[in-house]
Structure 1
Amino acid sequence: MYEILFRNEEIKNLFNQSHHGQSGSQPRALAGAIHAYADNIDRLSDCVPLIERIAQKHVGLHVRPEHYPYVGRALIGALIEVLEDAATSDVITAWTQAYDYLAYTLMSRELELYDERALTPGGWVGWRDFTVASTVGESETIRSFYLRPSDAGPLMEFRPGQYLTVRLGVPGQGDVLRNYSISSAPGRDYYRISVKREGPPPEAPYAPPGLASNYLHEEAGPGTVVGVSPPTGEFVLDEASDRPVALLSGGVGLTPTVSMLEYLVDRGPAREIWYVHAAPDGRQHAMKRHIRDLAAVSSAVHAVVFYEHPLPEDVIGRDFDAPGRIAMEWLKGALPVADADFYFCGPRGFMRMLAIGLRALDVPDERIHLEFFGPAEALYA
């Protein structure tokens, strides 16, 4: 499908091309979404979370109604090619009708989201220029970028856990789009994104992994202008809940959980907060001092850090709290599992372990929140 679709350069530029190279994460995510949609075609209410997740992604990328016919033709064309003799007229008609309905549902929701952003104070639709005000090295591999509107206008509020889509003018590559979680709390005069540098990038037929992160780390100093679309995403803190909060992260997956932690500390100690983070070692542990300072401000914060492979200079009790990985047995004994709301983000294996493990501990799905690109049910497969 993507081979057909990417013949249109405008459509191609809407996608993160590194997801189409060696990892193939975008094609797998699409296949999973199509399967989930087909499997639930007679009970589409079960697809609401999936549709919302896709709509939020599309709004970040500024997908418009005029783009949908191209996608439809590419999808149906791919089905005809792959199914061969099984692609009867009845099958193709059914898939065309199913796609048209899904496209209409997505377009309707996306137009609502665009209207919300246009009407929100400080909001906008499409791309807005932001200037890198400053950068901070958080670890050997992660750097934070403080972004302020180039027009000095007000900033749209966001919900802790949401992300920005950033448009970078990478020399020799044109516009490159990437999603980065906002790592600061709402209410600041900036958005902060914290980016892990990937690389060195290997040879690949599509944009290589690390293209955007290497550009940001090497070239995007103070004064650099980038395009930003409004904050979006459905992985958000339930601000109305009064249950304990468990914020779990691995590696650079800490970015949305730090936003949530800052917000909760700003609001005061109304809820018990467990911040549990896993890093490879001290050199790759981002925001160590920042988290320590937040925990010192609020007695409600319980911060626990795991290092999988501590270095000789990493001191337990000072730099981290436990060696190894976060394990479900530890979580069961240390956290109020029966009562807490769980939010987690990190590598796929880390998230799969938590998603399956929390269900096994009878944590209801409505208290399990995760940031994952693609159908969340894929984590349970």
Structure 2
Amino acid sequence: MLSEKTIGIVKSTAPVLEVKGKEITTHFYKTMFEAHPELLHIFNHANQQKGRQQTALANTVTAAAKYIDQLEVLLPVVKQIAHKHRSLAIKAEHYPIVGEFLLKAIKEVLGDAATEEILQAWAEAYGAIADIFIQVEKEMYEEAEQQKNGWKDFKPFRIVDKVKESQSITSFYLAPADGQGVPSFSPGQYVSLRINIDGETYLQNRQYSLSDSPNEKMYRISVKREDEGTPAGKVSNYLHECEIGYEVEVSAPAGDFVLDFKNRKPAYLISGGVGVTPLLSMLKTIVANDPEQEVTFIHAAKNSNVHAFGEEVKDSVALSNHARNYLLYSEPTSEDKRERKYDQEGYIDQAFLESVVKENDGQFYVCGPVPFIKAVVSELKQLEVKTENIHYEFFGPAINIEEPTPVQ
């Protein structure tokens, strides 16, 4: 429990954190990695170089300042981040290191404005927040290890098959190197891959959605080949060149963007680009286990060259009398137009959604690039879809699209 004095001081820092937050977190990561380079084995280097990790942490710290007296408001965000931490093997012993360098960064960026009173209040607040993360993650580690075929941290897997799905996306089938089975997962979850790339000083970590329905033998991930030479392209290009039999380390499935099996309302699965992967897992699971469930699958892609899983989606939809499938191309090729390979040219907009959404009280799952998600979520709200019925996931650090709703 934090004192009223501590809460008041921390809340008073929220306005300055909104302005200086990213500067603080950028300085924090720089100094922490200089002192503890071993932590570079854990963090996603591409997100660091793009500034996405710094932005995500700045948003989290600012939200913590605003809601330090209502930490329960942040619990959904805490759980989302904790899933990522567990999948990357971040442990309790890392939190004191983070706290030390975060406080130093606040002091060094804010200068004299960061008084001893403010630093002490933030030290207490960080300790309380860290304790919440440590406890939540402890339970997640135990759950991952104790489930059937479960394990803790990372486990060696082999690539047992590769399938090219489009010009840019390839699927990788991963099976445990020890010949054991794999634990089940909730459709929508992801795994972390840890890869030792020749010539790189540090291990590379990336998280990829599981793109098939659960089975007990192997996992499937589907990876977009990013531009070579970019931070994001380092691992994806390396993976695309790997041969069958190559060994990687894999964490147990994680993530809270999952299909709600208990809710029988119609499900709308809306994806853009490679964001199709977790929603394909949801679609295949729904039609295989509950053919009476109404489900609408909506996918947006540039054209057929980069469109993945078109036939797989059609085959899945055909298994149910209550499933529909819509495809939009923003830049269809001449062949696409001639053979009419899509349902509509352009983007998913409000007019399109109005034409296909039958019930605005259904469950809506959205995945894709951040601008895509922001646009679709905004359009769904224009259709009076309730916020609690909209679930979204994008690839990268946890960045809130909207503010948490305070508890009244």
- Do the two structures share a fold, i.e. TM-score over 0.5? yes
Q: How far apart are residue 336 of structure 1 and its match?
A: 2.1
| SS of match in other structure, 2:118 | helix
Residues 131-156 of structure 1: per-residue CA shift (max 9 Å, x gap): 10100000000000000111111211
Partner of 2:22: none
Partner of 2:389: 367
Aligned AA (2:131): Y
Q: Is the 8 A contact 1:56 1:110 kept in 2?
A: yes
Runs of 4+ in 1 over 4 A off after TM superposition: 373-376
| SS of match in other structure, 1:256 | helix
Matched ranges for 1:189-338 at <5 A:
189-202=217-230, 208-218=231-241, 220-315=242-337, 318-338=340-360
Distance in 2 (CA, whole Å) between partners of 1:380 and 1:320 is 36
Superposition CA RMSD, Å: 1.5
CA gap of 1:58–1:375, structure 2 versus 1, over 3 A, is: closer
Q: Is the 8 A contact 2:47 2:397 kept in 1?
A: no
Aligned AA (1:111): K
| SS of match in other structure, 1:117 | helix
Residues 311-359 of structure 1: per-residue CA shift (max 9 Å, x gap): 0111477521111111122112211242210001101111001222222
- In the alignment, structure 1 segments of 5+ residues that lack a partner are 203-207
Distance in 1 (CA, whole Å) between partners of 2:216 and 2:171 is 15
| SS of match in other structure, 1:62 | coil
Partner of 2:21: none
Aligned AA (2:217): D
| SS of match in other structure, 2:47 | helix
Matched, 1:40 2:67: yes
**TM-score, normalization: structure 2?**
0.89
Partner of 2:15: none
Q: How many residues align?
A: 374
Q: How far apart are residue 255 of structure 1 and its match?
A: 0.6
| SS of match in other structure, 2:101 | helix
Q: How far apart are residue 361 of structure 1 and its match?
A: 2.5
Distance in 2 (CA, whole Å) between partners of 1:375 and 1:364 is 22
Aligned AA (1:377): N
Most deviating of 3-12 and 74-83: 3-12
Q: Is the 8 A contact 2:276 2:367 kept in 1?
A: yes
Q: Is the 8 A contact 1:147 1:191 kept in 2?
A: yes
| SS of match in other structure, 2:249 | strand
Matched, 1:116 2:143: yes
- In the alignment, structure 2 segments of 5+ residues that lack a partner are 1-27
Q: Is the 8 A contact 1:164 1:181 kept in 2?
A: yes
Aligned AA (1:277): H
Aligned AA (1:215): Y
Partner of 2:180: 153
Identity of aligned pairs, percent?
Answer: 38
CA gap of 1:318–1:130, structure 2 versus 1, over 3 A, is: farther
CA gap of 1:149–1:93, structure 2 versus 1, over 3 A, is: same
Partner of 1:205: none
